[in-house]
Structure 1
Amino acid sequence: MDANVKTQSNTSIKIKKKKTWIRSSIQIFFFLLVLAISLNKTLVEGGISIPLLSTASLHAICPFGGVVSIYQFFTAGTFVQKIHESSFILMTIGIILAIGFGPLICGWVCPFGTFQELLGKIGKKIFKNRYNNMIPSKIDKYLRYIRYIILILVVYNTATTAKLMFQNIDPYYALFNFWTNEVAVTAYVILAATILLSLIIERPWCKYACPYGAFLGIFNLFRIFKIKRKASTCVNCKACDRFCPMNIKVSETNVIKNHQCISCMKCTSESACPINDTVNFRVGGADNEN
């Protein structure tokens, strides 16, 4: 990296830190909100409640509940057991955001994604540069499609049984309900595995198993605002590749259409890229533009 790049990187570091803090603040807010709502539901059952918080269950505030209930809703006009109308509303919001900006829910809102990122900070201190680079790419590229198999199985099983089957394996539900007797042993096992894997892989559940992430990832193929790299100003420092939690090779393409992108913006000129206006959210234009 030449002197001009270093100078530009140093002068913009305060701005980049500020924008990174904005995302972190949003993530922490939603993590604490979901935790408080889940705790409040338990407290209400004991005659206590946290002021201003909904008494709805975790299922009522999960957009994936709407996704798995689509068949039941359109064929019978009812919701799957434990799913509420609010899940459909949140699902719709998630889809609208995904059409516009990709899986923002995954990168900015999802509490379980935030939880994995926090664990990843520990893993980075332990394994340094080896962190998130331990699985050979030849194996990794196939593992990433497992979440689509899980998505199909979950939707099919929910449609045929009219019951929320995913709860039995959902580590997100286990994390925010571990103090109750509603969590299946399988969910605890998967939560434990996710915690351990998060110490060597960034967002392992998101990468390989999350069915909702798989659903939202499809919108990366035709979203309106895309993450684009301007080849004419790129200095090939590969900072965008190193900072991408999903191991996407941003430096090797002009537009990101990868189904794994979570729109976290860590690769952009507002965060990792040292050159202004080189990797950014953009709308329109040819995908091969320089």
Structure 2
Amino acid sequence: MNKNRMRNWIRPMIQISFFIIVMLISIAKALSDEGMTVPFITNASLHAICPFGGVVSIYTYLTDGILIQKIHSSSIILMYAVFFMTLLFGPVFCGWICPFGTFQEFIGKIGKKIFGKRYNHFLPKRLDSILRYLRYFVLILVIYNTAASAKLIFQNVDPYYALFNLFTSEVAVAAYIILAITVIASLFVERPFCKYICPYGATLGIFNLFRIFKIKRNQKTCISCDACNSSCPMNIEVSSSNTIYNHQCISCLKCTSENACPIKDTVILRIGGGKNEN
């Protein structure tokens, strides 16, 4: 296996590893509730390993010094850890770690085989660009209602929670419905939940405006082949910018010269300058 093919496998292997870890933790927790134990696997709940729990708890944590129902202190620690990582490299949590993002990519592979080049290009660009801001409305709604009720409101509609709790009775019907819609939508649009709904993706996407390591395009060596554009799962037009500040970037690095761009050192991740840099 050559170096390029090995590099192409790094991200999928990391994604699959985190997906398996979360699935095993979820199964172990379900079994522990039934009085059974799984050797070598902690019985931590999904809430304990979810950094978004820290985000929705931040108001009650700062004002009253308490966490909302079901959230663990580990969520606060994970929240800060992910924020630091995102400040450096952008939303790598979304592109490399999040198991629900990985799940959508798995479903998307089926959609790509069915629709070919039409996949991920069904929605009109104008409608698509408007829908991408919906997740910020969801973020505000979730934080406000969680702070007002001191309860984990988002769990009732969270497809990620539904996916990893299919074998329990804790999931609300609404979460199953949204999970089913996400699965179907993933056959037509890559990462639809990430693009349009995910409140945590909205939170981390803001970091793209001031992240330290940026995805940059060398205009002088670019041959305008659009390989970077077609490889981007979030439909970002990489070729139209010298530095990617788009709030939808998930730092998957699929557009870079190590993956899609055929010209060496043309699209790269590095410490960037200002927005006017060429």
User: Is the TM value for this pair above 0.5?
Assistant: yes
Residue 258 (str. 1) matches residue 241 (str. 2): no
CA distance in structure 2 between the partners assigned to 1:152 and 1:287 by the alignment: 28
The corresponding residue for 2:53 is 65
Secondary structure in 2 matching 1:181: coil
- Give the conservation status (yes or no) of the 8 Å contact 1:154–1:165: yes
TM-score (norm 1): 0.94
- Give the conservation status (yes or no) of the 8 Å contact 1:168–1:183: yes
TM-score (norm 2): 0.98
Residue 104 (str. 1) matches residue 92 (str. 2): yes
CA distance in structure 1 between the partners assigned to 2:33 and 2:128 by the alignment: 44
Moved more, 63-72 or 279-288: 279-288
- Give the conservation status (yes or no) of the 8 Å contact 2:216–2:272: no
CA distance in structure 2 between the partners assigned to 1:285 and 1:80 by the alignment: 40
The corresponding residue for 1:197 is 185
Q: How is 1:28-47 mapped onto 2 (pairs within 5 angstroms)?
A: 28-47=16-35
Letter in 2 for 1:122: I
CA distance in structure 2 between the partners assigned to 1:253 and 1:94 by the alignment: 26
Residue 115 (str. 1) matches residue 103 (str. 2): yes
CA distance in structure 1 between the partners assigned to 2:87 and 2:228 by the alignment: 23
Residue 246 (str. 1) matches residue 234 (str. 2): yes
CA distance in structure 2 between the partners assigned to 1:189 and 1:284 by the alignment: 42
| Identity rate, percent | 62
The alpha-carbon deviation at position 286 of structure 1 amounts to 4.2
- Give the conservation status (yes or no) of the 8 Å contact 1:230–1:289: no
Letter in 2 for 1:80: I
Q: How is 1:1-290 mapped onto 2 (pairs within 5 angstroms)?
A: 14-290=2-278
The alpha-carbon deviation at position 56 of structure 1 amounts to 1.1
- Give the conservation status (yes or no) of the 8 Å contact 1:226–1:283: yes
Aligned length: 278
1:65-121 CA-to-partner distances (Å, cap 9, x unmatched) read 000000010111110000000000110111001100000100000000000000000
- Give the conservation status (yes or no) of the 8 Å contact 1:269–1:279: yes
CA distance in structure 2 between the partners assigned to 1:49 and 1:240 by the alignment: 47
CA distance in structure 2 between the partners assigned to 1:286 and 1:15 by the alignment: 32
Secondary structure in 2 matching 1:69: helix
Letter in 2 for 1:58: L
CA distance in structure 2 between the partners assigned to 1:104 and 1:52 by the alignment: 28
- Give the conservation status (yes or no) of the 8 Å contact 1:197–1:204: yes
- Give the conservation status (yes or no) of the 8 Å contact 2:156–2:174: yes
The alpha-carbon deviation at position 178 of structure 1 amounts to 1.2
CA distance in structure 1 between the partners assigned to 2:140 and 2:199 by the alignment: 8
1:39-66 CA-to-partner distances (Å, cap 9, x unmatched) read 0001112222222211111011000000
Runs of 4 or more, structure 1, over 6 Å off, are none
CA distance in structure 2 between the partners assigned to 1:192 and 1:284 by the alignment: 40
CA distance in structure 2 between the partners assigned to 1:14 and 1:236 by the alignment: 26
Secondary structure in 2 matching 1:262: coil
Letter in 1 for 2:158: D
The alpha-carbon deviation at position 32 of structure 1 amounts to 0.2
